[in-house]
């Protein structure tokens, strides 16, 4: 199963917004609404920030939002803060009892 | 509070067998599917396996199918991952993660700190 495609890096200045894309196929993102996003700080475990394409778990700031259009899911981080600097990973159910992750995007807050 | 703690990692020679454990506390372990996800040094996340809440359904990534077995003991709140015929490419931090649903695919809403497996002679 091929990994989902994410840009290796993204950046923005404090208070700005940045959007990270996650491109799959009609067999994964395009077919199922089981898209999740994770934030991972260096040396730490991943943290779920978006599930089911748009659902934000309790405790996650509403500055984080998710969406999907066709085979591409997106994570938008609004009002960038220094602590948002981290690696971000998308994942999607890919059918046939398989889960795939994106390669990850390193977000830099300038 | 909800907690997942992995153990069992270490330096293992190629070709050997290794069993990882993940102890769960602070939530109803038997009601959630559980995953193993690994991360090679400096690389991204890779899904390894999932097991349903009752242990009846188990699914594996193609990259490990046939060499890996996931299991759980709901009476002890422990998740396991057995890896046979270890290879260099199995070197990674192995995380256990709790799924939002009983049958998986809902997203991992709780993660352990991970246990490092290094395959080396």
CA-based R_g, chain A, Å? 13
Contacting residues of B for A38, CB less than 8 Å apart:
45, 108
Residue of A nearest to B51 (CA): A97
Q: Give A16-46 pLDDT, tens digit per residue.
A: 999 999 999 999 999 999 999 999 999 999 9
Q: Which of B100, B104, B111 lies closest to A46 in CB terms?
A: B111
Residue of A nearest to B5 (CA): A45
Structure tokens at B79: 């998740």
pLDDT at B104: 86
Query: Looking at the complex, does the CB of residue A89 fall below 8 Å from at least one CB of chain B?
Result: yes
pLDDT at A1: 58
Contact present, A106 and A87 (Cβ < 8 Å)? yes
Contacting residues of A for B59, CB less than 8 Å apart:
97-98
Residue of B nearest to A8 (CA): B44
Nearest CA among B52, B48, B37 for reference residue B95 = B37
Cβ-defined contact of B111 to A103 (cutoff 8 Å) = no
A30: distance to nearest CA of chain B, Å? 15
Distance, CA of A102 to CA of A78 (rounded, Å): 21
Q: Give A43-98 pLDDT, tens digit per residue.
A: 999 999 999 999 999 999 999 999 999 999 999 999 999 999 999 999 999 999 99
pLDDT at A3: 87
Structure tokens at A89: 């990973």
Query: Looking at the complex, does the CB of residue A93 fall below 8 Å from at least one CB of chain B?
Result: yes
Strands B115-119 and B92-99, by their bridges, are antiparallel
Contact present, B113 and A41 (Cβ < 8 Å)? no
Mean pLDDT in consecutive groups of 10 residues from the start of chain B, 121 residues = 97 97 98 98 97 97 96 98 97 98 92 98 92
Phi first, then psi: give them for residue B67, nearest 5 degrees: -115, -10
Query: Looking at the complex, does the CB of residue A88 fall below 8 Å from at least one CB of chain B?
Result: no
pLDDT at B4: 98
Report which of residues B60 and A3 the model is more confident about: B60
Q: Give B61-81 pLDDT, tens digit per residue.
A: 999 999 999 999 999 999 999
DSSP state of A2: P
Contacting residues of A for B108, CB less than 8 Å apart:
36, 38, 46, 48
Describe the strand order of the beta sheet including A64-69 as a list of residue ranges.
A18-23, A72-77, A64-69
Residues 4-63 of A with CB under 8 A from B: 32, 34, 36, 38, 40, 45-48, 51-52, 57
Residue of A nearest to B113 (CA): A45
Phi first, then psi: give them for residue B31, nearest 5 degrees: -100, -5
DSSP state of B31: G
Locate tokens 């991204």: which residue?
Answer: B44
């Amino acid at each position: 199963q091929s990994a989902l495609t994410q840009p290796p890096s993204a950046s923005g200045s404090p208070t700005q917004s940045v959007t990270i894309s996650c491109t799959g196929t009609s067999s994964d993102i395009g077919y199922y609404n089981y898209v999740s996003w994770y934030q991972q700080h260096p040396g730490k475990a991943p943290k779920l920030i978006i599930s089911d394409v748009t659902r934000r778990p309790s405790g996650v700031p509403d500055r984080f939002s998710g969406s999907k259009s066709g085979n591409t899911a997106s994570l938008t981080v609004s009002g960038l803060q220094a602590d948002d600097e981290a690696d971000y990973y998308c994942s999607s159910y890919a059918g046939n009892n398989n889960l795939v992750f994106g390669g990850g995007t390193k977000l830099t807050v300038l | 509070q909800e907690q997942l703690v992995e153990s069992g990692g270490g330096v293992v020679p190629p070709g050997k067998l290794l069993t990882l454990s993940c102890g769960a506390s602070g939530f109803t372990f038997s009601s959630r599917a559980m995953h193993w996800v690994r991360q090679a040094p400096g690389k991204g996340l890779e899904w390894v396996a999932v097991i349903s809440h009752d242990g009846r359904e188990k699914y594996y990534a193609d990259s490990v199918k046939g060499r890996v077995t996931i299991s759980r003991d709901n009476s002890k709140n422990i998740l396991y991952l057995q890896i046979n015929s270890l290879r260099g490419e199995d070197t990674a931090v192995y995380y256990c993660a709790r799924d939002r649903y009983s049958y998986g695919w809902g997203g991992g809403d709780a993660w352990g700190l991970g246990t490092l497996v290094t395959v080396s002679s």
